[in-house]
Chain A
Amino acid sequence: MHLAVCCKGIPEEAGNFSFSTDGNHLSFDTASVILNESDEYALDEAIRWKKRIGAKVTALTLGGLESQEILYLALAKGADEALRIDSSAGSPWEVATLLGKAVERKEADLVLVGVQSADHMASLVGGLVAESLRRPFIFAVTSIEIIADRGTVIVQRELGEGRLQRLEVQLPSVLAVQTGICPLTYAPPARRLRARQKALEVLDPEQLGFPAEILGRYRKERIEEIMAPMVPQSAAMLQGSPQEVAAFIVERIREAS
């Protein structure tokens, strides 16, 4: 059983943003990237299955050199292999096309992604990867049980608004993992240091069969304009003792409701 986990590096702090050089996606001015929260749950869930059934886990990311930090973290947590696609592609269709090719190359049976990235929150890449590979896709998965001998996975997923559903899905497939699926593990500094000694695989889009001019066709949408940050509407700040503050709020509640 081979599990691939798609891990996105997101800006640690969203500082200034700008258009990318091709004008088609936003890039953030940031010193370092961190592993996106729901991807970390996907990674930890995969590693739990490595421990339970001896599955192999490969961590995948797409980005520049700075995003290798994420892969080192994945290796420290217990991933067996790590692959970085060296690309600045930003459109979900481009990203998913490349990730899909990498999954195919790695021959992974089950692909885990997080439900959404904290920077764009489009929740698209998982579904797009699945469709590019013609595999079934389940979104917002809150529990996973791999039935290796049947070649299926039994998952529970959210339907939104607190409703849940249990499903059986054939492998190979793609699951978008919801936060909270398992406890997050901590990778101690010593292990993180050791992980840095491990070799990472790096492939560029050409090596995956997608030179820039072909890849560009996968991008349909175009960002035309970004409005300057709306000046944050600052709240009227209340001062005073809890009694004074409460009295004022009660008054406002009366007006508002």
Chain B
Amino acid sequence: MEEDLKTERKGQLLAIKDLPTLPTVLDEVSKLVARPESTTEQVARLISMDQVLSAKVLKMVNSPIYGFPGRISSISHALMLLGFNVIRGIIVSTSVFEVMTKNMVGLWEHSIATALASSTIARACGLRDPDEYSVAGLLHDLGKVVATVQLPELKIAIESLVKEKDLTYLAAEKELLGFGHDRINAWLATHWKLPPNIKEGMDHHHSPQTAQLYPEMAAVVHLADFLARLYEFGSGGDDNVPFVQPDAFKILKIKPKDLEAICDTLGERFVEVSDLKFT
């Protein structure tokens, strides 16, 4: 019975047709792509500020129609391959949330903060393609957005359970759904044929120690999520700073005190985006 319910919910979640976003970035991007002199880099930088648009662009470029599923993990590469026509099409067909709740805005801000923290950590650790870590960081809570759209009544229940019992969002999801947003992420990434490194960052950000193929990706997003919460930039849906898996440091071959230098850089980068407002 339990298993049936899970399969049914998985089906409901993956059936998502219309994934809405917040209007702020969407408006900006549509203005930018309407101008002929806009460059791919400008558009990529802006799309990288919106988890839903980024997910849509990656889903599109990795779809079998284009002929190279699971290969593209960077937004700028996706734009080079899709072109502005397709991007315009994606923007026009993207709707916005009718009700913009405080929680939703917080989640968008938290996602950007995690993206920034991910690329900062990746650079500090000397990992290649830091932009791809940024993408995984940006998308790490996408499962929460999809659950909100497809299972709205459960979302309300989760939020009240978080408040009532002072649980983490993940614990509340598990109590009510039987699985967390990390599992939803894994389903989405597989269903949308996202590259395996992005998938592992998304579905193992709470458990980097069990990541099989790209443990560095999972460890980076795990620490980035922690730092974003520590700085209280945006909100992941609860007030707890999550427990840090000591394995994350081992995987990245760094010591907890190395985070100090990372925090210094990150503080500066947060200032750069602090004027970005979703409300």
A binds B: no
Name B's A-contacting residues (CB within 8 A): none
